[in-house]
Chains A and B, each alone.
Chain A
Amino acid sequence: MTAAGWIIMILSVASVSTLLAWCIYKVVSTPHETEHIHGFEQETPDVEQ
């Protein structure tokens, strides 16, 4: 791999890692954010209990 290849790889991996770390920090540090952040919750409100 060339020097430019190393630079691009390091920048790419660092940028996505930083973005993810920042998102985790923001979720954890914002009060009550964990209650208001969502993904694909499998149990949707239409599920009959």
Chain B
Amino acid sequence: MLAYFISFLLIGLPICWAEWAMGRQGGLAGFNSCPGIFNYITRKPAFKYLGVIGVLIPVIIYMYYVYIEAWCLGYAVNFLSGNMDFADVSQSTSFWALFIGAGEDGSALGFGLKQVGLYLLLAFILNFVLIYRGISKGIEFFCKYAMPTLVIIACVILLRVLTLGTPDTEHPERNVNNGLGFMWNPVKHVVELKDESGDWMIDHEVVDPARIEAEETAAATNSAMRVRRISMREQLFNPQLWLAAAGQIFFSLSVGFGVIITYSSYLNKKDDVVLSGLAATSANEFCEVALGGLITLPAAVTFLGVAGVAGMGTFDLGFKVLPMVFANMAFGELFGFLFFFLLFLAAVTSSLSMLQPGIAFLEEAMKINRKQSVAILGLITAVGCGFVVYFSQDVKALDTMDFWVGTFLIFVLSTIQIIIFGWIVGIEKGFAWAHEGAAIRIPAFFKFIMKYVSPLFLIAIFTLWVAANVFGIDFRTGEARYSGYVMDLFIEPNTVARLSVGLIALVAGLFIFIVALNPDYKKLNKEK
């Protein structure tokens, strides 16, 4: 959590403020797309091409985000239909796998109540009807009431999680106290075993005090086993921790996506970008730390134990573990329906915001109106979404696109943005832009952070990320083995992974071509 808060201060807030300030400045000159804004504020031709990343990220993420959105809608309907009364996590896991078509390519396309196809179609149509007809104001108004309701429901779920106690008496160590300990204890205890070469390898983590004692007793008589205490200091020296913290910051705050820069371009000089940015990030942080941090992992440990949670991702926690919480609470079906339906609405507002950078870009670069732009983007995203849903086996297409765009390119765009703000625009000028119309001032020490610390921190994290996740370097042992994502592309070719990257390259190529042909961007460079 300490790494998370440091990342919040060193990259989350700085990039957020930089995006808001640069976006508004570009918008005041009439540019609403990331390529246009980068081109205008830097007056360097190369940056309009780098700005394409700010359009590519939301468009590609939309292609798989709407698929996940459909999961939420489908779960809400199935809760209402009484199909979600699971006895254990294996049942909720098999429901999820059948629902999303994880077993076989093409199996997600069915239109049954327990298949994602119908919900996907509804979600996709809803998104484009809202954005095409310009009636999204209605959903925004609705969300003003729906989102506080979602927070209230999350509080009710939190209350239920904290009172779960020990649901399985056969596994007394699977309880809420240990769940909270797994999430918040600063000192970790891991059981390590000696491998064939004599190196100690982590086998599993233990949280329960009685279990730690039992493992220590067992280790006392077994020379190939030991219980190691990992201090907070040692954890902070682990690069993987920083990678996870930074990645979480990007996603929870939506920084480095190319979305904030587009929306802030519609603001005027009297609008407050500093407090807007801080208020948005603080609301996100509250939901993530005070609600998410107390619900998901503690609930997962309570039902699955510490060993069961190892390696679990967001999907596992949200779509396999959370239904178990509802199955174990009064009026669980009603709360399950409300939670997933409101989550679906929240996701719709997010996906609509992911479409706007692409729409603004096509309008600006191709000189077309909004409806034409929506139609073109609708075609592009429909093809991409169909691709992701068809290749649903092991969520391979989604996973590949999320890795290269939803993680890799977000690091790249964030780094570019903070360098533009601190070094090309200049920190004094950037702060002056940000402070126009602001009710509060950014503390002066952020000048140093945004100019030196944030870029260096991002570059360091990005280098570590590439080393760990692309070249597969194990920071503990120093051994290197290419990651699965690289293996899929070059060493043991996987057709779906290659097609996914090909699709990303095709969309990027199209956007670069459109940027290259735009006369306004070139004119601006000549005017400098």
Chain A residues with CB under 8 Å of chain B are: 1-2, 4-6, 8-9, 12-13, 15-17, 19-20, 22-24, 26-27, 30, 33, 36-49
Report Cα–Cα, A17/B288, bound state, in Å: 11
How far in angstroms is the closest Cβ of chain A from B150?
15
Quick check: B370 and A16 within 8 Å, CB to CB?
no
Chain A residues with Cβ below 8 Å from B186 are: 2, 4-5, 8
Indicate which residue in B272, B282, B288, B353 contacts A42 across the interface (CB closer than 8 Å): B353
Quick check: A1 and B180 within 8 Å, CB to CB?
yes
Q: Determine if B275 is an interface residue (Cβ-Cβ < 8 Å).
A: yes
Given contacts A41-B140, A46-B363, contact A9 B184 (CB under 8 A): yes
Chain A residues with Cβ below 8 Å from B483 are: none
Report Cα–Cα, A23/B259, bound state, in Å: 22
How far in angstroms is the closest Cβ of chain B from A49?
7
Report Cα–Cα, A3/B437, bound state, in Å: 45
Quick check: B360 and A4 within 8 Å, CB to CB?
no
Chain B residues with Cβ below 8 Å from A1 are: 177-178, 180-181, 184-185
How far in angstroms is the closest Cβ of chain B from A36?
5
Indicate which residue in B137, B180, B439 contacts A26 across the interface (CB closer than 8 Å): B439
Which one of A22, A24, A36 has the highest number of Cβ atoms from chain B below 10 Å of its Cβ? Answer: A36
A-B contact pairs, 22 of them (CB 8 A): A1-B178, A4-B185, A5-B180, A5-B185, A8-B2, A8-B184, A8-B185, A12-B289, A15-B5, A16-B290, A23-B282, A23-B283, A24-B279, A26-B439, A30-B439, A36-B437, A36-B439, A40-B356, A41-B266, A42-B349, A43-B140, A48-B369
Chain B residues with Cβ below 8 Å from A2 are: 181, 185-187
Chain B residues with Cβ below 8 Å from A20 are: 282-283, 285-286
Q: Determine if B106 is an interface residue (Cβ-Cβ < 8 Å).
A: no
Q: Determine if B271 is an interface residue (Cβ-Cβ < 8 Å).
A: yes
Chain B residues with Cβ below 8 Å from A49 are: 134
Chain B residues with Cβ below 8 Å from A39 are: 263, 276, 280
Report Cα–Cα, A38/B277, bound state, in Å: 9
Q: Determine if B3 is an interface residue (Cβ-Cβ < 8 Å).
A: no
Report Cα–Cα, A4/B183, bound state, in Å: 12
1/0 contact string of B355-375 vs chain A (CB within 8 Å) = 010011001000001110000
Indicate which residue in B271, B275, B370, B439 contacts A47 across the interface (CB closer than 8 Å): B370
Report Cα–Cα, A44/B360, bound state, in Å: 10
For B, the interface residue count at a CB cutoff of 8 angstroms equals 54
Q: Determine if B267 is an interface residue (Cβ-Cβ < 8 Å).
A: yes
Q: Determine if B293 is an interface residue (Cβ-Cβ < 8 Å).
A: yes
Report Cα–Cα, A23/B177, bound state, in Å: 32
For A30, give the chain B residue with the smallest CB separation. B439
For B283, give the chain A residue with the smallest CB separation. A20
Given contacts A2-B187, A37-B275, contact A43 B136 (CB under 8 A): yes
The 7 A-B residue pairs whose C-beta atoms are closest, nearest first, are: A42-B136, A1-B181, A47-B134, A5-B185, A23-B279, A5-B184, A9-B184
Given contacts A19-B282, A20-B283, A46-B370, contact A40 B180 (CB under 8 A): no
How far in angstroms is the closest Cβ of chain A from B327?
25
Indicate which residue in B259, B271, B283, B285 contacts A40 across the interface (CB closer than 8 Å): B259
Quick check: A27 and B275 within 8 Å, CB to CB?
yes
Given contacts A13-B290, A26-B439, A38-B267, contact A48 B134 (CB under 8 A): yes
How far in angstroms is the closest Cβ of chain A from B147?
10
Chain B residues with Cβ below 8 Å from A46 are: 32, 359-360, 363, 370
Quick check: B259 and A38 within 8 Å, CB to CB?
no
Q: Determine if B528 is an interface residue (Cβ-Cβ < 8 Å).
A: no
Chain B residues with Cβ below 8 Å from A40 are: 259, 263, 349, 353, 356
Chain B residues with Cβ below 8 Å from A9 are: 180, 183-184, 294
Q: Determine if B352 is an interface residue (Cβ-Cβ < 8 Å).
A: yes
Indicate which residue in B181, B263, B278, B371 contacts A48 across the interface (CB closer than 8 Å): B371
Chain A residues with Cβ below 8 Å from B360 are: 44, 46
Report Cα–Cα, A5/B294, bound state, in Å: 12
How far in angstroms is the closest Cβ of chain B from A5?
4
Chain B residues with Cβ below 8 Å from A45 are: 266
How far in angstroms is the closest Cβ of chain A from B180?
5
How far in angstroms is the closest Cβ of chain B from A30?
5
Quick check: A36 and B440 within 8 Å, CB to CB?
no
Q: Determine if B1 is an interface residue (Cβ-Cβ < 8 Å).
A: yes
Quick check: B278 and A33 within 8 Å, CB to CB?
no
Report Cα–Cα, A36/B437, bound state, in Å: 8
Quick check: B187 and A37 within 8 Å, CB to CB?
no
